[in-house]
Amino acid sequence: MKLTVEGLNSHYGPAHILFDIGFEVGEGEVVALLGRNGAGKSTTFRSIVGLVAQRTGRITFEGKDVSARPTHEIVREGLGYVPEERRIFTDLTVDENLEVGRQPKRPNAPYWTREKLFTLFPNLGEMKGRPGGRMSGGEQQMLTIARTLMGNPSLVLLDEPSEGLSPKIVEQMVDAILTMKKEGVSIVVSEQNLHFARLISDRAYIIERGRICFGGTMAELDARPDIRDAHLSL
Amino acid sequence: MAFYVVQFLTGLASAASLFLVASGLSIIFGVTRIVNFAHGAFYMIGAYIAFTLTERFSGAFGFWGGVVVAALAVALIGVLVEMVLLRRIYHAPELFQLLGTFGLTLMVEDLVVLIWGPDDLVGRRAPGFKGAVDFFGQNIPSYDLFLIALGPVVLGILWLLFQRTRWGVLVRAATQDRDMVAALGVNQKWLFTSVFAVGVFLAALGGALQIPRDAVHHAMDLRIIVEVFVVVVIGGLGSIVGAFVAAVLVSELNAFGILIFPKISIILVFLVMAVVLIVRPWGLFGKPEAAARKTPGLTVNPWRPLTSNERLASLAALVIAATLPLFVGNYALTVGSEIAIFVIFAVSLHFLMSVGGLASFGHAAYFGLGAYGVAFLAKMAGLPMIVCLLLGPLLGCMGAAIFGFFAVQLSGVYFAMLTLAFAQIVWSIAFQWVSVTGGDNGILGVWPASWAASPSHFYWLALGVAALVTIALRIAVFSPFGYALRATRDSVLRSEAVGINAKRIQWTAFVIAGTTAGIGGALFAYLKGSVFPDNLGISLSVDALVMVLLGGVETVSGGVIGAIVYKALNIWLVSQTDLSKLVLGGFIVLIVVVFPKGIVGMLEMLAQRRRKSSPPGSSLLAKPIESAE
């Protein structure tokens, strides 16, 4: 397994957010984490990369237990994280944003150069010197993904990549994610949009109120309209 | 004409050191969000070490090598400080780091006296720059010309460092979003340490380069830190170009202010700062601060009024305090009165800071205004004490009403800086308007009336007023006004959305806090029998901050406990040891590291832990909260 999450519990202060979350991602797989707003998708991702301080459970990445490691060490193992809300550095140019993400080449993961990323996201190549704050939402979303890829991750956590984007940009996003997959990057993508998830994912988990309540292939999910209707707003 | 040019050049030369120190502070604040009060201390150590090195090693190499080595050595000390102290408190409540670095400053002030002695040290002149250049009959020291050239050179180097190196890109990224930088695989710890080292290096270099111009002495830290705060605020926090321009502006204002407006030269700089903050709160070259990402889980414990048992306990404590004159002598009673007065002062700032979320760096202004109010009424109008005590604080109230109106337009660090500027303006007026205030000589002979003259009577008066003030402010905390004020503290937007006029509520809180501080000041004038500009000086403002933070800013009774502990400890230490600052500073640093929630916060935590151990897990903990993502 590429990534295994077992018995993950997270708290924000006195509030218990995640309850025994468990899921796994195989080598080269694209797995969707589906759920409504506030179900715990982002917290799950933030917990995996160590951005939530109060968490217990076991997170195994490429056979190594990373549960107790600080964020930057987890990321340097090759576990990339693309946050929701984009969070690009608005004062920095596109080039500089990419520079922040740059990490050395990794033997077991595809190697991304700026040039390669500019072919994946042609818009970015045309605005290398533009400050991040003066880009459209779609361009910013592409930049966050490109920035994480600069770290040459072997697995990427993608938090709601289609959120707030126009249909045309969403299409580009689907292409980009499929290219990443083809290059050999494993991906966990959190989504509210089942349609978008279906275009890219091999399997899906559904999270509701901080608990995983379904796990299976996309076909298995389609065979259970009751689950789909109960836990996803369509 | 030549004279003015020379004056201008002297100003430029002064700007160089100021720029070095200010840019260091700015860089550190940008990334770590720490307002490094110890920055002046690093500047001072830089000067002292450079003095020693340049005395020991002769020649050009000895001098310039000494300057650079001194700066490097201090940078190393900075690294140690960052790793041992600051790393533990990055996640502490905002401003708590200020307390830690203040403690450090206190320690350094005593340490340099211990090592280098209390006398001013006059350093060597710089080899190669010993002479002066003749300019139409006026002399310009050639070292000044060197400093004038150095400023832009350092600016250029810093610009390259931040724009053209990977380190610079990472630092700028971290300035905006620290967590995201970590999530991209960058080790924040070392980034912070290196940033701190660079900032401290600049401060120490600024200090080391001053030795051919100024004597080295153990109070140079406070003088520079105030000026540096001003520079950084005018230029814009985090902007290096801004720091440069502002350093030049401030130095020129100093150089020409003394010629053109000799009467108000000190005020001039602070007046400019106040105007800049009101017109462009984020400084000339700064950017409006985006609302800080609140770390989830960092919530303030909900406040509650005292239970009836706790009320009885407080009453008992008050009664015991009131019986003090039966057991102790006059000196102890005078100390007791002073502590009671500082309880009033601390409680008033606590109200503004903890309840209103507005941390004032210049609260002593209103304390001092209250004291001056009493002095004017008693000495000039000859009014009886009781009338003076009632009317004197109104001067503090008026000051708070005027300054508060402008101050509450800002928030956070900028609010703190504007209050500091206002306090300095008031101080300058008291200091320079000699005909009215007596200037540095103060106003003497403000003695209490016979009914309050004995130490025990005065002690009861101070204790009674302190108790009344504390109770009144507590009632205000749990009144509708208090709820509204706390709402504006937690979210201005949301409170305005439910119909609260946030600015007016905050202004009212400012006036209440200022008036209360004025009551403390009024009593203080009678306790000491005199009023001096120091009564509204920056060190008194800092004392108040320390008391509140020490007690615990997130608690309701932090002000009272903090004032008692700090003041008692302070007075006791001064009587016991010559190194009172060292011990007090060490104590503050220890508190910051071990009990980052303050004394009361720590007690509350202990009490909570004990309560929690009996029924395992409250119902709140087991309930999932839906929208917490």
Beta partners for residue A64, in sequence order: A61
Instruction: Using the predicted structure, report yes or no on whether residue B568 has a pLDDT greater than 50.
Output: yes
- Asked if the Cβ–Cβ distance from A210 to B179 is below 8 Å, we say no
Contacts of A87 in chain B (CB under 8 A): 177, 180
Report how far residue B202's alpha carbon sits from residue B199's, in angstroms, rounded to the nearest whole number: 5
Question: In the numeric block, which tokens belong to residue A121?
Answer: 């996201």
Task: Compare CB distances from B173 to A15, A53, A92 and report the shortest one's residue.
Answer: A92
Task: Compare CB distances from B185 to A13, A76, A210 and report the shortest one's residue.
Answer: A76
Q: How far is A30 from chain B (nearest CA, A)?
A: 21
Closest Cα in chain B to A147: B184
Task: Compare CB distances from B629 to A43, A103, A148 and report the shortest one's residue.
Answer: A43
**What pLDDT band is residue B600 in, cutting at 50, 70 and 90?**
confident
DSSP H helical segments within chain A, as ranges? 41-48, 71-76, 94-101, 114-120, 122-125, 137-149, 167-183, 194-200, 218-222, 225-231
Contacts of B175 in chain A (CB under 8 A): 91
Instruction: Using the predicted structure, report yes or no on whether residue B363 has a pLDDT greater than 60.
Output: yes
**What pLDDT band is residue B622 in, cutting at 50, 70 and 90?**
very low
Q: Quick one: average pLDDT of B109-118?
A: 94
Closest Cα in chain B to A209: B626
What confidence score (pLDDT) does residue B620 get?
Answer: 37
Q: How far is B299 from chain A (nearest CA, A)?
A: 7
CA-wise closest residue to B204 among B186, B181, B221: B221
Question: In the numeric block, which tokens belong to residue A131?
Answer: 């400050």
Q: Per residue in B603-619, pLDDT tens?
A: 877 877 776 654 433 33
Q: Quick one: average pLDDT of B97-116?
A: 90
Answer yes or no: pTM beyond 0.95: no
What confidence score (pLDDT) does residue B613 get?
Answer: 58
The full 3-state SS of B361-400, as one line of letters, equals CCCHHHHHHHHHHHHHHHHCCCCCHHHHHHHCHHHHHHHH
Contacts of B170 in chain A (CB under 8 A): 100
Q: Are strands A3-12 and A54-61 parallel, antiparallel or unpaired?
A: antiparallel
Lowest mean pLDDT among B258-272, B436-450, B581-595: B258-272
Task: Compare CB distances from A92 to B172, B624, B626 and report the shortest one's residue.
Answer: B172
- Asked if the Cβ–Cβ distance from B297 to A54 is below 8 Å, we say yes
Instruction: Using the predicted structure, report yes or no on whether residue B95 has a pLDDT greater than 80.
Output: no
Instruction: Using the predicted structure, report yes or no on whether residue B365 has a pLDDT greater than 90.
Output: yes
Beta partners for residue B468, in sequence order: none
Contacts of B629 in chain A (CB under 8 A): 17, 37-43
Lowest mean pLDDT among B85-89, B136-140, B355-359: B136-140
Percent with pLDDT over 90 in chain B: 46
Report how far residue B114's alpha carbon sits from residue B579's, in angstroms, rounded to the nearest whole number: 9
Q: How far is A70 from chain B (nearest CA, A)?
A: 9
What confidence score (pLDDT) does residue A113 get?
Answer: 93
What confidence score (pLDDT) does residue B260 get?
Answer: 81
Q: Per residue in B407-442, pLDDT tens?
A: 898 877 778 878 887 888 898 889 888 888 888 888
Contact residues for A214 (Cβ-Cβ < 8 A; gap 6+): A204, A205, A206, A221, A224, A227, A231
Chain B residues with CB within 8 Å of chain A CB: 166, 169-170, 172-173, 175-177, 179-188, 287, 296-299, 620-629
Instruction: Using the predicted structure, report yes or no on whether residue B601 has a pLDDT greater than 50.
Output: yes
Q: What is the mean pLDDT of chain B?
A: 87
Percent with pLDDT over 70 in chain B: 94
Lowest mean pLDDT among B226-235, B290-299, B619-628: B619-628
Q: Per residue in B487-546, pLDDT tens?
A: 888 888 888 899 999 999 999 999 999 999 999 999 999 999 999 998 988 789 888 988
What confidence score (pLDDT) does residue A149 get?
Answer: 96
Contacts of A70 in chain B (CB under 8 A): 182
Report how far residue B277's alpha carbon sits from residue B231's, in angstroms, rounded to the nearest whole number: 12
* Choice between B92 and B350, residue whose per-residue pLDDT is larger: B350
Contacts of A53 in chain B (CB under 8 A): 297
Task: Compare CB distances from A147 to B176, B184, B298 and report the shortest one's residue.
Answer: B184
What confidence score (pLDDT) does residue A234 get?
Answer: 54
